[in-house]
Amino acid sequence: MTHIFLTLLAASAAISQVAAQTQDSACVNAGGYCQSTGTSCSGSYLTNYCPSSGSTIKCCQPKQDSACTAINGSCKYTNTPCSSGYLSNYCPSSGNNVKCCASSSGSTSSPCGIPKTRAGLAAAALWAHNSGQSISYTQGASRWSGITSRTCPKSGGSNPSYADCSAFVTWIYWSAFGNGPDNLNGATWSAGYTGTLLDHGASVSVANVRLADLVFYENPAHVGIVVSLSPLQVVQFGSTGVPKLSAYNYRTVTDIRTYNSFF
């Protein structure tokens, strides 16, 4: 009996090895992964997409989550090609190895319908202030809740449950540009802090400031987003409560950065 068990175990390992090494193009092009049919698949198995590996190996095509399909995207394994780039947090059903490949048309849309303009971002940040909705301050992973839960800064939307200063301004930018590249933190809209915000964009003087530029304070302990030019004001979030509307220089300003790659 022990011999039979070891033989079956070896056979199972051989199947897994085949599945790991033989990825047929038909399956790869479908965004799937050739694997043993005895392995869990979040979506469904496609027949005849893995001809190199026998009848026990089929193509697992991941579940297509509505967040991804809503932007005309497709949930795919990240070892498959995606010309438009993968988006995080749009395919939650299938684990970290599956992300949303947005179509070229879908990648130009806005996650929240926020206009992809400086004025649109400023209006979104002002809405977050004027809504009167409190946000709990945290520097833990839940500070990205505005993006992971796909909440939107507009009428009918809501403020995030949790944020810190950098996650707040990132959420505002995500609400308009989140279906495209993350040129703010360079972290696929899933990470970042004041340091990564400073690593991107370009420094500008007060005389050249524009709406939606970011103002950094105290090297940089804090950040806010410009929402008014006359007077020059920012919306910033730094403690549990409602995001505040403040004079741009209410604290010591150490840098102002613009992110022209979005516009």
pLDDT in tens, 44-83: 999 889 998 888 999 999 998 876 765 567 889 988 887 6
- Predicted confidence at residue 11, as pLDDT, reads 40
Q: What is the model's pLDDT at position 109?
A: 81
pLDDT more than 70, % of the chain: 85
Distance of alpha carbon 56 from alpha carbon 131, whole angstroms? 56
Task: Please check the confidence at residue 183 and state whether its pLDDT lies above 80.
Answer: yes
Q: List, by residue range, all CATH 3.90.1720.10 domains of the chain.
A: 118-262
d(CA 197, CA 220) in angstroms, rounded, equals 10
For 172, list phi and psi in degrees, rounded to 5.
-60, -45
Identify the pLDDT of residue 10. 39
Of 132, 140, 112, 106, the residue nearest 124 (C-alpha): 112
pLDDT over 80 at 113, yes or no = yes
- Name the residue among 53, 32, 54 with its Cα closest to residue 44: 32
Residue 87 pLDDT exceeds 90: no
Whether residue 105 is predicted with pLDDT greater than 50 in this model: the reply is: no
pLDDT over 90 percentage in the chain:
63
Confidence label for 16 from pLDDT (cuts 50, 70 and 90):
very low
Q: What is the pLDDT of residue 101?
A: 79
Q: Give residue 175's identity as a one-letter amino acid code.
A: S
Q: Which two tokens stand for residue 237?
A: 């979030």
Q: What is the pLDDT of residue 84?
A: 60
* Cα–Cα distance, 168 to 21 (Å, whole number): 43
Q: Are 213 and 200 in contact (CB under 8 A)?
A: no
Q: Of 33-42, 92-101, 154-163, 190-199, which range is least confident?
A: 92-101
3.30.70.270, 3.90.1720.10, 3.40.50.2300, 3.30.450.20: CATH of 118-262: 3.90.1720.10
pTM for this model (two decimals): 0.62
Report the range of poorest mean pLDDT among 13-22, 112-121, 224-233: 13-22
Alpha helices in 46-134 (DSSP H): 66-69, 118-130
Mean residue pLDDT of the chain comes to 87
Q: Stretch 167-196: mean pLDDT, rounded?
A: 95
Instruction: Write the CB contacts of 221 (distance below 8 Å, at least 6 apart in sequence).
Output: 194
